[in-house]
Structure 1
Amino acid sequence: MQFDHKQTEALLAVMDSGSFEQAAAKLHLTPSAVSQRVRQLETALGTPLLVRSRPCRATLAGQQLVQYLRRARLLEQDFLAGFSGAASATLSVPLAVNADTLSTWLLPAISDFLISENVLLSLTVDDQDHTHALMQEGQALACVASEPQPMQGCLVHPLGILRYRMLASPQFHARWFAGGYSREAARLAPVMVFNRKDALQADFLLQRFGLRPGAYPEHHVPASEPYLQAILLGLGCGMVPHLQADPLIARGELIDLAPDQPTDVMLHWHHWKVQSPRLERLTRRLVEVAQQVLLQAH
């Protein structure tokens, strides 16, 4: 069958915005018109594509179709730009990355490329254990993830290790750990947690002291800069990636509570085997720089 462009654009608009109302505003239509186009597409394919919840979610068939449509649209845009001689036409690329990658090495690694190649980023930020799922759902065409196995039809490149250390300010250390970083002290001291998906602190405390979540007080600060600032201000101790941690430890602004127990997270770059030319070049640039910036396994 041949897809109806208006129907597929309606589906993508709902997936991008999460609702028929916002999709309608984007497409300058009524919500009922958007709903009708999606239903016509579902009827043509003989299967539901959306779970009409808040926000709307794609069914398995919907995820597969959205993946295909995003890839096809990117390939078409890049091909037409090159074919017409307008290689400098902007190209928007949806990527999924973890917050610590975004706040440390990603943008310095690819900013020159994005400017020279006129590529626009559409970033979705999630935990490194969950970004891969965003690619599976069709919300991203490539991702930085901890998952080492590629999806069917995809390739994966190892990027390197982001090493985390459990850090605290000198004032926090003096208040809570003057007698040493012990199980009893760790049970009472507040811990910084990025968000509900962040398991770094929980895994560390379980391994070191056998403390389970709920056995110690927690702050939840779901933004990278405020999270680090909260640790610097002495609100709690928490895991910080080495790219941020090392200079702060060297200057004495933070103390490594467990220098014998870093947490290493291996990051990988996932992308489809068939990519647009500019996404292929973005992949080469990102992998090359990441392998220089991140720690490498021996």
Structure 2
Amino acid sequence: MKDLDSAGLDCLAALADERSFERAAQRLSVTQSAVSQRLRSLEAQVGQLLVVRSRPLRLTEPGKVLLRFARQLQALRTDVARELGSQVTPHERLPIAVNADSLATWVLPALDGLVQQGLREGFGLELIVDDQDFTHDWLRQGEVLGCVSTVKQALRGCVVQPLGVMSYVAVASPDFVARHLPGGLNEANFPQLPFLVFNRKDDNQVQWISQAFGVRHPRLKERYVPSSDAIVRAACMGWGIAVVPELQVRELVRKRQLLPVRADVSVDLTLYWHQWKLVSEAAPAPGRVALLDQVGQALSTGARGALKALPGRRKAAGPATAAKG
């Protein structure tokens, strides 16, 4: 199999993003029939069904394999256009997955310079948010070209780079502490007190309780607040106990708008940057770095200034390592 149709691959990527033929056609500025025709041509070329025509549509496993290739091809095409000083195709974006807590704290400042550069040069980043334990799945399925994740092992064809450690602490408002924790949080009262939880994937509270009291499978009274910033606001309003990044609430704790709950206990999560290795026949011009590599470098620099260094390492990012085997 060779010479895969680039227009068909662009359609596949647009369908994966938009989840409908109508929106994919609008994104590519073509008709729906053109999208259908290009997809059928690509499916005929590989001899396999790539998209399940459901609502919303979804990719088959072969479709996910080709999606990874389509994403990488688009990234290489963007790099070549930048090398030549040509206009980047408007619908092409570089998607990466990050966890919500990193997005709420250090990721935006880390990527700001690159985004401003993109405004000048015409390329764009797309940030996809998921739990730090699940962003890796987006990379595996070909939905993104890179991700911030707690997963240490690189996928085949990817490189991984440690970023640093994000510490999570438990906090509550002074009023909540005075009303509900006059004697402190303990093994007897934690099941009766509300804990603020991002969503059903979020287990930071469970990890914190397990570490504080040695309870392996604690049952918590959960209040779901699906936003990193909103959880902190809810904690300030006295809605419950929040287990959140220390980086996010440091200033609020200093001003005593939030109080630590068991200041001796924290949950430390090591974050890694994963990205696909994009191999181009043409080496970048001297002084030029591929866009995906620039994203990794920007995140590494930002993490180095915001996160705790890994145990046994200086506060500096190490070299990326490729997956074995």
Letter of the structure 2 residue corresponding to residue 12 of structure 1: A
Root-mean-square deviation over aligned CA pairs: 2.3
- Structure 1 residues without counterparts, runs of 5 or longer: none
Q: Secondary structure at the match of 1:264?
A: strand
Change (3 A) 1:161 1:9: same
1:2 is matched with: 3
Change (3 A) 1:208 1:54: farther
Change (3 A) 1:221 1:128: same
Letter of the structure 2 residue corresponding to residue 281 of structure 1: Q
Q: Is the 8 A contact 1:161 1:264 kept in 2?
A: yes
- Post-superposition Cα deviations, 1:11-30, rounded to whole Å, max 9, x if no partner, equal 11210111223223434555
**What is the CA distance between 1:125 and its match in structure 2?**
0.5
Q: Is the 8 A contact 1:14 1:20 kept in 2?
A: yes
Letter of the structure 2 residue corresponding to residue 240 of structure 1: V
Q: Secondary structure at the match of 2:101?
A: helix
2:252 is matched with: 248
**What is the CA distance between 1:170 and its match in structure 2?**
1.0
Moved more, 21-30 or 47-56: 21-30
Percentage of identical aligned residues: 38
Q: Distance in 2 between matches of 1:242 and 1:18?
A: 37
Q: Distance in 1 between matches of 2:293 and 2:36?
A: 35
Matched, 1:291 2:292: no
Q: 1:196 aligns with which of 191, 200, 224?
A: 200
1:152 is matched with: 156
Change (3 A) 1:16 1:164: same
2:71 is matched with: 70
Q: Is the 8 A contact 2:194 2:223 kept in 1?
A: yes
Moved more, 36-45 or 260-269: 36-45
Change (3 A) 1:43 1:142: same
**What is the CA distance between 1:233 and its match in structure 2?**
0.4
**What is the CA distance between 1:192 and its match in structure 2?**
0.3
- Structure 2 residues without counterparts, runs of 5 or longer: 280-288, 312-325
Letter of the structure 2 residue corresponding to residue 226 of structure 1: A
Q: TM (normalized to structure 2)?
A: 0.83
Q: Distance in 2 between matches of 1:156 and 1:262?
A: 25
Count of residue pairs the alignment pairs up: 296
Q: Secondary structure at the match of 2:264?
A: coil
Q: Distance in 1 between matches of 2:33 and 2:262?
A: 58
Within a 5 Å distance, the mapping from 1:1-298 to structure 2 comes to: 1-28=2-29, 31=32, 33-83=34-84, 85-86=85-86, 92-116=93-117, 118=121, 119-209=123-213, 210=215, 212=217, 215-274=219-278, 277-298=290-311
Change (3 A) 1:49 1:129: same
Letter of the structure 1 residue corresponding to residue 275 of structure 2: H
**What is the CA distance between 1:33 and its match in structure 2?**
4.9
Q: TM (normalized to structure 1)?
A: 0.90
2:286 is matched with: none
Q: Is the 8 A contact 1:189 1:236 kept in 2?
A: yes
**What is the CA distance between 1:277 and its match in structure 2?**
1.4
